Every structure is written in structure tokens, then in C-alpha cells.
């Protein structure tokens, strides 16, 4: 059966997006310095060959353990689920051939027709996390279901007991504020077991299995 997982980058102080990174400031990267902070959080990925090719950023890049990590995350993913904020930020930033190449369910209050992109990604807009998960299970096949983000959607699936395991990639960066990855986790219900750790010069990738208390 498909596993449900997520894999995100998080600052050492626990934030997955800088404070100023909001849709209303998408075209003002100087607002609270959000773009520079986002790049500090994500620059490790921009050095990787797989990430560069998938986002059409050009050839070249590193081919070490982090590149392998990113490729394996991609290959195990049969379908993704994301929140509307992550989608809205990516809608204008992703290349026309969006980097998922699978169905993607966007959890949102907005009603919208499916949005197919060249290269196999189709975004489907659904009204609640339960419906998104049910539909994702129907199309995942023998691959896994990735909760792509952002924080709100990850926290809801974690607290619902629907996440099997996750990876956090931690670059040596403080953001000092922003969107906390793990706000409001119900520690009465959700526990963790430490899994694999991949340590590289740029980042540490840490895997956790989620347990139900
Ligand atoms: N560091 C990383 O690796 C990483 C990865 C992914 C994303 N991110 C960042 O995370 C940020 C977004 O995270 P976020 O927590 O602000 O937002 P989010 O989880 O992406 O989306 C939240 C939005 O989704 C919709 N939604 C959430 N729960 C819902 C429910 N139960 N029913 C219906 N609709 C629901 C609502 O939008 P509507 O009411 O408008 O429909 C809500 O405002 C972005 O800045 C993104 O770039 C970072």
C-alpha cells in the first residue's frame, strides 16, 4: 500500500518559509527580504543536477548524495497533495512543464476546473483534505503519496494521523520568523521515531517515522 510522506526544507529555528513570503508580496522580493531568505533556505537544491533539470534551470549541478535524495523522492511519488498557498506561489513561478509530472490535488475553498500542464502534471482542486487523500489513494498506484506542503496542510494531515513518515532537510540557516513547520502538533497523539540521516556539507536530511501514541 502507498505510504503517505512529506519532504520539505526547514530552517534550524523551524520555519519553512520566511515571514514576508506571502502572495500579496510575490512581485516585491525586497519586502522583508523574503526572496533572499527563501534562497538561503533552498539554495542547496539549486546546486543539484536533478532539481535543475526538473525545473528547467539548465544543465550541470552536483550529483552526490543530495542529488540522489531528490531523485529518489521524485521517483517514489505517484501523486502529490498541496495547500492553496503553496499552489498560488508556484502557479506563476513553476515552468509551463510543472515539476510534478503526476496528478496534484490542491486543497482549497476555491472551486476551479482541473488545470493540465504539459509533461503530465494535472492540478485538481478539491474542497477538503479527506477528499484529496481519498482521490490521491485512487491514483497513486504502487507509488507513494507526497504531501508537498505548505505547513498548514502538513499539520492537518499529521494531526489526522495520516502521515507515515517524513524527511526534513535542514540547511545551516536561521530565518528568525516566518511560517513554522510544526505549529500546533498534537503531541498527545503523534510521536516520532528517528530514521535514516544523510549528512552532507550543505545540508542534513533527517527521516522520521510517525507513530500513534
Ligand atoms: N520549505 C519547503 O520545503 C516548502 C515546501 C512547500 C511549501 N513551502 C512554503 O509554505 C508556504 C505555504 O504554507 P502555508 O501553511 O502558508 O499554506 P498551505 O498549506 O500551502 O495552504 C493553506 C491554504 O490551503 C487552503 N486550505 C488549507 N486547509 C484547508 C481545508 N481544510 N479545507 C479547504 N482549504 C484548505 C486554504 O486556502 P483557501 O482558503 O484560499 O482555499 C489555506 O489558506 C509557502 O510560502 C510555500 O512556499 C515551503
178 lines ligand 1 (CB under 6 A): no
CA 145 from centre of chain = 12
- The reported pLDDT for the residue numbered 167 is 98
Give the H or E element holding residue 124.
strand 122-126
DSSP state of 128: S
CA 47 to CA 70: how far, in whole Å? 11
Q: pLDDT category, 187, cuts 50, 70, 90?
A: very high
Say if ligand 1 is within 6 A of residue 180 CB: no
pLDDT single digits (tens) 2-37:
999 999 999 999 999 999 999 999 999 999 999 999
Instruction: State the cell numbers at 175.
Output: 530565518
pLDDT at 204 over 90: yes
3-state secondary structure of 127: coil
Q: What is the 53 CA–ligand 1 centroid distance (Å)?
A: 26
pLDDT digits (tens, 9 = 90+) for 58-93: 999 999 999 999 999 999 999 999 999 999 999 988
Kindly give the number of the ligand 1 atom that is closest to the alpha carbon of 82.
20
Is pTM, for the whole model, over 0.95? Answer: yes
Residue 128 near ligand 1, beta carbon < 6 Å? yes
- Rounded to whole angstroms, the Cα distance separating 17 from 87 reads 14
Q: How many CB atoms lie within 10 A of CB 145?
A: 27
Q: Which of 80, 99, 104, 108 to mutate to test the pocket of ligand 1 (most atoms within 8 A of CB)?
A: 108
User: Residue 50 has which C-alpha cell?
Assistant: 536533478
**Pocket residue to mutate for ligand 1, from 31, 147, 153, most atoms within 8 A of Cβ:** 153
Amino acid at each position: 500500500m502507498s505510504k503517505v510522506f512529506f519532504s520539505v526544507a526547514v530552517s534550524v529555528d523551524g520555519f519553512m518559509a520566511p515571514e514576508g513570503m506571502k502572495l500579496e508580496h510575490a512581485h516585491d522580493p525586497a519586502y522583508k527580504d523574503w526572496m533572499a531568505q527563501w534562497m538561503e533556505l533552498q539554495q542547496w537544491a539549486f546546486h543539484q543536477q536533478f532539481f535543475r533539470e526538473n525545473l528547467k534551470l539548465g544543465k550541470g549541478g552536483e550529483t552526490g548524495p543530495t542529488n540522489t535524495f531528490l531523485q529518489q523522492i521524485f521517483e517514489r511519488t505517484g501523486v502529490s497533495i498541496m495547500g492553496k498557498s503553496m499552489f498560488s506561489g508556484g502557479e506563476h513561478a513553476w515552468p509551463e512543464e510543472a515539476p510534478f509530472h503526476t496528478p496534484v490535488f490542491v486543497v482549497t475553498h476555491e472551486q476551479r476546473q482541473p488545470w493540465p500542464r504539459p509533461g503530465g502534471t494535472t492540478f485538481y482542486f478539491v474542497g477538503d483534505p479527506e477528499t484529496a487523500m481519498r482521490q490521491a489513494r485512487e491514483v497513486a498506484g504502487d507509488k507513494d503519496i507526497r504531501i508537498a506542503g505548505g505547513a498548514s496542510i502538513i499539520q492537518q494531515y499529521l494531526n489526522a494521523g495520516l502521515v507515515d513518515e517524513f524527511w526534513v532537510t535542514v540547511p545551516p540557516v536561521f530565518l528568525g520568523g516566518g511560517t513554522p513547520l510544526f505549529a500546533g502538533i498534537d503531541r498527545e497523539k503523534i510521536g516520532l521515531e528517528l530514521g535514516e540521516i544523510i549528512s552532507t556539507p550543505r545540508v542534513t536530511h533527517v527521516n522520521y517515522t510517525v507513530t500513534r501514541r
